[in-house]
Amino acid sequence: MDFIKVASACPITKVGDVNFNISNILECTKDAVKNGAKLIVFPELSITSYTCSDLFLQSTLLNKSIEGIHNLLEDTKNLDILIAVGAPLLHKSTLYNAAYILFKGKILGIVPKSYIPNYSEFYEKRWFTEGIGITNKIIDLPFQKDIDFGTNLLFSCADFTFGVEICEDLWVTIPPSSYLALIGANIIGNLSASNELVSKMDYRRDLIKNQSARCICSYIYSSAGVHESTTDLLFSGHLLIGENGGILKENKRFQRDNEVIYSIVDIFKLNAERMKNLSFRDSTRMLNMSPKTINFSYEDVVLKEFDRYVDKHPFVPSNDLEREIRSKEIFNIQSSALAKRFEHTGLKKAVIGISGGLDSTLALLVIVKTFELLNYPMNNIVAITMPGFGTTDRTYNNALSLCRELGCDLREINIVKASLQHFEDIGHDKDIHDVTYENVQARERTQILMDLANKEGGLLIGTGDLSELALGWCTYNGDHMSMYSVNPSIPKSLVRYLVRYVAEKESTSTVRSTLIDILETPVSPELLPKDDEGKITQKTEDIVGPYELHDFFLYHFMKHGSSKERIFFLAKNAFKDDYSEDEIQKWLDKFMWRFFTQQFKRSALPDGPKVGSISLSPRGDLRMPSDAAPWK
């Protein structure tokens, strides 16, 4: 079970009218089933309503609540959905604020509220007793015997495990959900009745985001609505569904009708994140709680409609402001890391090969920013353009213009003569445009750069990016090698936005125009001869496939350890308007083959800073055998 559709609901209620409340809870539940949800969470004490006050001490209300639960069980016994609903529980003369977990006509378990607020506008201790510390209890109700009761209950079906806490439990120093997550819950439900105050909404949302991140879980929050008593307080019916630090779905508060929100939770991703996060695993050593797991089985867990948003460009923020902030942060990381390397080596010069392409442009911009930080003169940046057989006027002129505009020490070394000599030395026909033809040029350029760095007493800066490393789209001991690399964890899809950020926010008009033209130039190593019109003939994406697809594949393969089948499923949903399923499958096969067969190049990478959550450094994030068989 990779995915499960969940729901958070706020029904219309009448204070103390159990039959009315049950009818609306049932209506919301049927709506959830109709929409394919397998779990629905209702507000705290929703069967009676939260604001009954001293009516909770009346046997009439308590008896009606138990009858209402019985009726709800009868009405939902044929529905394939797990229901978490709030109601009081009287047990051995003690009253608890509880969550009842219902499934197919039975109560699977009852979870008491651990922490009872009794400050400011809250005075729940007038009626209810804390459930903290209650574990492994068994209780009877008139219509069902031997019901599990406690704060350590987990409700599990396949890879999905559900735990419950109630309102105030989230606000305490160590919420019960922290323990529930550590004993196995990957989805937490919070049945709440949180009154509305100015700005409380933001605090509540932040709590849910942060707790779902700490617990690496999905967090389903349901709060009582506007139909509670407004004697002193107003409730807004705030509904949220969070997942690992983000909000998947949130409603507009203050609704006056029954409301249910839905989202698909990625259980596979949550479990994968927990497996990778060793600190999460080590935290279990602090546990003094053992789970009581109650297993159940759905009739059908197949999603009838996959409507979860899948980001086509997971490395690139979709929001303009966030993208600008991220770009600035990335430049700070790259330039600060490079500055440290210059300070450590004591070198004052940088050497870089400039092709007029995106990667070398980004690397040059990072060097410029670094030299600004260190107060080094810009003419200490030795920028070398090395035209070869496939160099076009467009990339050549862009390289020259950019270096001049930035004040670099621009030099030109044509590699055609040296390459022809090398073809002759190794007995290669210059008219055979094979991999040898291409790699001779790449290695000639690297040799020039390395030797020139020695001569100038400078640091050779590599330009290759994360996408190229993933695909092995670099020449071993050619552009694959440098003395320090600044782009090794920047995917190609993000390189464009970083260059565009500098063009729009941190450059003069003349530099901007050059950068814009570089952005509009097709990606190419320019190692094959240009056409009769002097244009690029070798376009990388025609050979290896679209970089936006490969970056998508890489993200899900590395971030969550996704299988090839799962990546294909996500890709066909994300790119359904852009590529056919056959195209996606073709390039996914290509990605897998190249990723596995090119590890030997990644095993010999120069140093370079990790920028995002994914890196292929053999010293940090990826220790992979070079001889592993490609996955088919």
Q: Which residues are annotated as a binding site for ATP?
A: 353-360, 463
Residue 425: how many other CB atoms lie within 10 Å: 9
Q: Please identify which of the residues 38, 64, 113, 269 carries the catalytic annotation.
A: 113
Please tell me the distance from the alpha carbon of residue 485 to that of residue 607, in angstroms, as a whole number. 6
Confirm whether 113 is a catalytic residue.
Answer: yes
CB 598 within 8 A of CB 586: no
| H runs (alpha helix) in 286-434 | 320-345, 358-374, 393-406, 416-426
By the 8 A CB rule, do 482 and 459 touch?
Answer: no
Count the Cβ atoms, other than its own, within 10 Å of residue 233: 17
Q: What is the distance between the alpha carbons of residues 282 and 297, in angstroms, rounded to a whole number? A: 30
Cα–Cα distance for residue pair 115/131, rounded to 1 Å = 7
Return the H-helix or E-strand segment holding 156: strand 153-157
Q: Which two tokens stand for residue 381?
A: 């940046």
Q: Give the dihedral of Cα atoms 315, 321, 324, 330; nearest 10 deg.
A: -50
44 is catalytic: yes
Compute CA 30 distance to the chain's CA centroid, rounded to the nearest angstrom: 32
CA atoms of 53 and 33, how far apart (whole Å): 33
Tokens coding 254: 């203050």
Residues that constitute the known binding site for deamido-NAD(+): 439, 468, 473-476, 601
Q: In whole angstroms, what is the distance from residue 251 CA to residue 20 CA?
A: 23
For 137-147, b/e burial (b = at least 16 CB within 10 A) is: bebebeeeeeb
Nearest to 225 by CA among 217, 216, 234: 234
Tokens at residue 163, please? Answer: 């735990």
520 as an active site residue: the answer is: no
Q: With CA atoms as reference, report the closest residue to 38 among 160, 147, 167.
A: 160
Distance CA 65, CA 355 (A): 75
Candidates 10, 28, 52, 167; catalytic one? 167
Residue ranges at the known binding site? 119, 194, 200, 353-360, 439, 463, 468, 473-476, 601
Separation CA 571–CA 584 (nearest Å): 7
Amino acid at 421: Q
Integer Cα distance of 179 and 3 in angstroms: 23
Closest alpha carbon to 468 in 493, 444, 449: 493
**Sequence-separated contacts (24+) of 201-210 with Cβ below 8 Å:** 201/236, 201/238, 201/253, 204/238, 204/240, 205/240, 205/247, 205/250, 207/170, 207/171, 208/170, 208/240, 208/242, 208/247, 209/242, 209/245, 209/246, 209/247, 210/245
**Which of 10, 28, 44, 209 is flagged as catalytic?**
44
Cα distances from 541 to residues 36, 403, 587, in angstroms, run 40, 27, 10
β-partners of residue 192 are 223
Known binding site for L-glutamine: residues?
Answer: 119, 194, 200
Give the whole-angstrom CA distance, residue 110 versus residue 93: 17
Give the residue numbers marked as catalytic: 44, 113, 167
